[in-house]
Chain A
Amino acid sequence: MEDLEDNTTVFTTLRSFNNFLSQRTEATPVPETSSASCSLQLQYRKRMQLEEQAEQIHSKSQLLQVEREKMQMELSHKRARIELEKAAQNNAKNYERVADQNQELLGRIKYHQEKESEAEKKLQEQIEINKIYKKSMETQNKKLQEKESKLAEANEMISVLKAKISELQHKSMNQERQQVIWDTERQELHEKVEIQRKKWQEATQKLQMLQVAQTISEENEQKIKDLETKLSLQEQDSVIVKNMKSDLARVPEMEKELRRLREENAFHRETKENNALLQEEVEGLHRKVERYEKMREDMVNLELEKEKLLGKLKGWENLKQMTGLNIESPEDLSREIIILQQKEITLKQQHNSVTNSARALEKARQQLQEEVLHLRTRNLENENKQEQQNALVRRLQKRVLLLTKERDGMRAILESYDSELTASEYSPQLSHRVREAEEMVHKVHVRNAELEVELSKALEEVGSHKLKAQTLEAELKILKNEAAIAEKSSFINSEEANSLRQKIEELEGERGRLEEENRGLMMRLERSNLQGDYDPTRIKVIHFSQNPVNLAKQHNIAELHQLREECERLRELVRVLEGGGSVPEKLEGAVNLPSSQEITDLRKQVESAELKNQRLKEVFQKKIQEFRTVCYTLTGFQIDITTENQYRLTSMYAEHKDDCLLFKVGTEQLSLYCIYRLVDFFVC
């Protein structure tokens, strides 16, 4: 109100000033004429004064205004402070309230979070259960699909079978029809058969008639043949007669010719004789010529022989001079040769005789040597025997002495025992002892005999060995003698023997080596044989051309080829696609996409789906628009979506166009929370 009062004072001052100005303006135009200029000046001064007053008033008013404003500002400041304090208090209260609410809300949030986690767990469980259900559903679906497919197959089979049944029915119908036809045909054929039978009977009758006629005809034919033969004969006769006639006609000519020919013959005979004579002469001349040629050749040969013989003669003549023998002719030479040969023969005979005598002498010598050996051996044997016998004799004498001694000893013992026996009563013991002693003696005798036998055997062996040694010595002596005789002639032989021995050793060494090599080679051969080696000159290896290895290789090569081609095609396709632009039809075809029909079908489907989508969108838009307008008009409220989850409610009857309520969709129970309220204040 003070402001209003202030305002009214301002307004009143302004009004008074304006009135004053208007008065001044009204007052000023009265003094018009000559005092215009001084009046003007006065006016001007007055005006200036007034203006100054006005300005002062204005400034005062402004000051007043400012002061008033200041007062107002202070007041407003105070008010604002008060209000701020109030607001602060309110805010504090609100803050406490909000804090409480926050705690409540936090508690609730925790509670809700727990519920949420539980709900999530339940959700997951549910999801798992759903998955399991889905899987079971899928399996069931698959089973159903399989069953459906099986059903479809069964249905197909049924349809196929039905078709087959229908076909079979058709076939049976056809067959029945055919059967009927065949029956009719059969009947017809029967009738035909009967007709044919009648015909056959007629035919047989005709046949018989024909046969009769045939016989008649045959007879007639025979007659005809006879007649024909006769005719032919007659014709021949006629021909002969004609020929005869012609011959007869030719006879005189023939006679002339005959005469001529005879003359020619005579002439020819003469010429032949002449020819023969001439040929003989020619042959004779030929022979002469041959003889002369032979004679010439003989002459040449004879001259050559003559020269040879002359040479030989000269040689013979020279021979005589060369050899100094009484040789003048080959006869002498032959005589000489014969003489020499005879001499040779005699010498050979002498030689043979000499050799025979030598061999005989050798044989005799050998025999004598053998006899000598034999005699020596016998001699030695005899000597050995003598020695043995002497030894035996000596042994026997010793034995005799021993035996006599024993006997004496035994006699002494017996006498002592007898003497003792008569003295004492130890007879059984003594007899026992006597028996033991006798047994001992017997054993000793037996042992002695054995030893003597062994001794004799040993001596015999020794004697035989000595014999052998002596015989060998004798042979050795003989051989040594022979060797000494033949040593000189056999000196070379020993050298040869040594060389031969050396050769033999070398050859044996080589043989051993070759055997080892052979063994090694055989092992190698066996090994390679095991590995599959073979002799290419005798054996070859063959296999079937279409064998699995070749087939696998060809398959591989074909696959490789195919893969390479596919690879190239795919590379081209990639290049085209990277370059941009649609896939050309050729590559489409080359890339083996599904067939063009399927492509067109799919495209049509896609287009129809897109069209449907578009139509649905349009329809939806129209309907929604309609609905919204109807809602707005009927209810008076328009609901718009500003952002996600936020809705703006505007009223038809709002004071201002931009008045609205903003709502947010809560997560729980789909409740709407009012966010804030917009009100515009107009400020001039």
Chain B
Amino acid sequence: VYGINSILYQRGIYPSETFTRIQKYGIPFFVTTDSTLKNYLSNVVEQLKEWLFECTVQKLVVVITSIEDNEVLERWQFDIECDKKAKDETTPREKSEKVIQDEIRSVIRQITATVTFLPLLQTPCAFDLLIYTDKDLQIPEKWEESGPQFIANSEEVSLRSFTTTIHKVTSMVAYRKMSSS
């Protein structure tokens, strides 16, 4: 949730006034105060937590599209590799909380740093969250199938990854190559 919020804040999808500052994992985060947005995020994240526990999620993608011409401008992709055996084991795996927090912090710092080379978003934009799951998963009520929302002429940048002992998350951002210099 915090990663998504920081992406929204950094890319200016919603105006900065609608964000408040909170402290988490040792660094300041900006989270939104808009109630519809919070509602949407909480719905998605709840479902996502369930699926993460069942290890049926492969990817989480944040797609930023321009409202006017419906074109995908940016694509933030988080690949999730889940160790399925961990579900059946009873003994908890050893990895210190601090190390995981450090890794998360570094990923968030990298997301903030990528803003420097990503092209400016000129037109008003909206975002969407796509989840890649197993084919045989039952789609819950409020969800629907969608396309993968590729970018046609894209430039990809791979970011850091972090692991808890059960999941490994690799992140990357793809953006539309600008024809002008």
Chain A residues in the interface with B (C-beta under 8 A): 530-534, 536-553, 556
Contact = CB atoms under 8 A, between A and B. Distances in A.
Nearest to A529: B79
Given A539-B133, A540-B145, A548 B44 contact: no
Contacts of A546: 40, 142
B154 interface: yes
B142 A541 contact: no
A532 B67 contact: no
Interface in B138-168: 139, 142-151, 154, 156, 158
Nearest to B75: A532
Contacts of A550: 128
B144 A548 contact: no
Given A548-B40, A552-B67, A537 B135 contact: yes
A536 B136 CA distance: 11
B127 interface: yes
Contacts of B133: 539-540, 542
A109 B144 CA distance: 91
Interface stretch (B18-26, B57-65, B86-94, B95-103): B57-65
Contacts, number: 95
Contacts of B43: 544
B75 A544 contact: no
A546 B127 CA distance: 12
Contacts of B132: 534, 539-541
A542 B174 contact: no
Contact of B128 (A530, A533, A537, A548): A548
B172 interface: yes
B129 A551 contact: no
Interface residues of B, number: 41
B130 interface: yes
A542 B146 contact: yes
Contacts of A533: 148, 150
A640 B6 CA distance: 84
Given A532-B61, A532-B75, 7 more contacts: A530-B174, A531-B151, A533-B148, A538-B134, A542-B131, A547-B129, A549-B65
A8 to B, nearest CB: 116
B126 interface: yes
A543 B70 CA distance: 17
A549 B126 contact: yes
B174 to A, nearest CB: 6
B27 interface: no
A533 B151 CA distance: 11
B37 interface: yes
A544 B142 contact: yes
Contacts of A541: 130-132, 145-148
Which 9 residue pairs of A and B lie closest in terms of their CB atoms, listed nearest first? A552-B126, A549-B128, A549-B126, A548-B126, A547-B128, A543-B146, A543-B130, A552-B67, A530-B156
Interface in B44-77: 44, 58-59, 61, 63, 65, 67, 70, 75, 77
A541 B59 CA distance: 9
B139 A544 contact: no
Contact of B174 (A531, A534, A552): A531
A524 to B, nearest CB: 14
Nearest to A553: B67
B135 A539 contact: yes
Interface-central residue, A533, A534, A538, A539, by most chain B CB under 10 Å? A539
Given A549-B127, A553-B67, A542 B145 contact: yes
A534 B150 CA distance: 11
Given A533-B148, A540-B145, A544-B142, A556 B67 contact: yes
